[in-house]
């Protein structure tokens, strides 16, 4: 017997948590002397009322879908991958190498190649922490954080010393050749008469992210591997009993997680900047944690949560454009969302559970 209906668990509770987060965010906005209503209107106008706004919202959402899925897959194996940031950074390198050194005839082939490069490099960067966790019991939370720092240093080295064209100021690689340029939403959806998504960075990778959601759903709930990952995540002792090797699952789950996190580099590096830059990840790896949490580690939930966070990002940019609200406000809002949807989940859940049980008693 469940304590409450499923819809309450996956819709009602997150919505209430979000409202709480919004309420406290409003207090913060009030405290710094701005109007929450105005701010909210600006965000909605800028992020959702124009096609270009959507173009940005979905661009960010693409990143968050990948990192959110990455965190979710690891979570199913009860592994806390805080290293999405570093994995995506290194994956960018994979994308850059593929794009720079292989002459691609057409973007459709290039995106496949770049995806392989991104996934491979991302997975590789997750491999060592995974192995250390599985074999030596080194806490994966700490090692993945350390690997974020190490990734930044490595990427910096590669960009400053190896990939930077001579004379360029930017610690960035050369522009990728034209054969690798991905069609943006503007290219895809604009007509002669009306330009849609003008200048927005959203591109075909978005559909790749949607595909990744489907892939993860199949993987987790329809394959043997997914069955084993979830089983291991629920009970390590039971997994051992069933002949599921903890080492193998830990490593595989982290490889998949790293590969997914890495895939976001296709969006940022190939789709947006079209060259490898230092700071392409911009914290998306961490946002993935919030996204996975809000999405209850389910691909559909991750997809919706990613769009919500994409909206927050784009809305935040609009705020920064037209008001004096510092950009850190968005960080605070993120924190509140994580706090209320994740850590303080029971604060909302328990009263609601009680409510449902009481209601059921009365009906019975």
Binding to another protein, residues 22-51 (CB under 8 A)? 28, 31-33
Closest to another protein by CB, 109 vs 211, is: 211
Q: Which one of 14, 83, 117, 171 is in contact with another protein (CB under 8 A)?
A: 171
The secondary structure of 111-152, three-state, reads: HHHHHHHHHHHHHHHHHHHHHHHHHHCCCHHHHHHHHHHHHH
Compute the least distance from the CB of residue 192 to another protein, in Å: 17
Residues 279-308 interacting with another protein (rule: CB under 8 A): 279-280, 282, 286, 289, 293
* Spatial distance between the Cα atoms of 291 and 156, rounded to a whole number of angstroms: 28
* Spatial distance between the Cα atoms of 347 and 19, rounded to a whole number of angstroms: 13
* Spatial distance between the Cα atoms of 76 and 64, rounded to a whole number of angstroms: 18
Alpha carbon of 183 to those of 74, 180, 274: distances in Å? 31, 9, 12
Closest to another protein by CB, 11 vs 347, is: 347
Tally Cβ neighbours within 10 Å of residue 259: 27
Residues 135-154 interacting with another protein (rule: CB under 8 A): 136-139, 141-143, 145-147, 149-150, 152-154
Q: Which one of 218, 247, 355, 359 is in contact with another protein (CB under 8 A)?
A: 218
Closest to another protein by CB, 109 vs 248, is: 248
Compute the least distance from the CB of residue 85 to another protein, in Å: 11
Return the closest-CA partner of residue 279 out of 131, 74, 59, 86. 86
Closest to another protein by CB, 109 vs 343, is: 343
Closest to another protein by CB, 109 vs 240, is: 240
Residues 67-96 interacting with another protein (rule: CB under 8 A): 80, 82
Where b means 16+ CB within 10 Å and e means fewer, 132-169 reads bbbeeeeebeebbbebbebbbebbeebbeeebbeeeee
Residues 93-122 interacting with another protein (rule: CB under 8 A): none
Which part of the chain contacts another protein (CB under 8 A), choosing from 10-18, 55-63, 90-98, 205-213?
55-63
């Amino acid at each position: 017997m469940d304590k409450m209906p499923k819809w309450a668990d996956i819709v009602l509770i997150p919505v209430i948590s979000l409202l709480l987060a919004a309420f406290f965010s409003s207090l913060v906005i009030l405290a710094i002397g701005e109007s929450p209503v105005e701010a909210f209107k600006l965000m909605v106008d800028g992020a959702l009322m124009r096609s270009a706004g959507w173009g940005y919202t979905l661009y960010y959402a693409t990143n968050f879908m990948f990192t959110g899925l990455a965190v979710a897959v690891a979570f199913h194996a009860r592994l806390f991958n805080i290293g999405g940031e570093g994995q995506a950074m290194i994956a960018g390198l994979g994308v850059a190498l593929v794009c720079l050194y292989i002459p691609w005839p057409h973007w459709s082939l290039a995106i496949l190649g770049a995806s392989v490069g991104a996934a491979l490099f991302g997975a590789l960067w997750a491999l060592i922490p995974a192995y250390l966790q599985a074999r030596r019991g080194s806490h994966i939370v700490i090692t993945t954080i350390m690997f974020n720092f190490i990734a930044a240093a490595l990427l910096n080295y590669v960009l400053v010393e190896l990939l930077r064209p001579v004379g360029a100021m930017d610690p960035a690689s050369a522009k990728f050749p034209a054969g690798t340029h991905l069609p943006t939403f503007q290219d895809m959806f604009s007509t002669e008469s009306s330009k849609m998504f003008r200048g927005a960075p959203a591109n075909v990778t978005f559909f790749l992210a949607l595909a990744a959601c489907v892939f993860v759903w199949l993987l987790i709930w329809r394959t043997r591997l997914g069955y084993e990952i979830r089983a291991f995540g629920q009970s390590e002792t039971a997994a051992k009993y069933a002949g599921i090797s903890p080492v193998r699952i830990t490593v595989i789950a982290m490889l998949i997680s790293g590969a997914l996190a890495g895939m976001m580099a296709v969006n940022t590096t190939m789709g947006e900047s079209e060259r490898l830059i230092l700071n392409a990840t911009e914290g998306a790896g961490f946002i993935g944690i919030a996204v996975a949490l809000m999405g209850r580690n389910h691909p559909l939930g991750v997809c919706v949560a990613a769009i919500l966070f994409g909206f927050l990002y784009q809305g935040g940019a609009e705020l920064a454009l037209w008001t004096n609200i510092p950009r850190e406000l968005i960080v605070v809002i993120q924190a509140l969302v994580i706090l209320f949807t994740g850590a303080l989940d029971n604060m909302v859940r328990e009263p609601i559970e009680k409510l449902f049980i009481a209601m059921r008693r009365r009906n019975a």
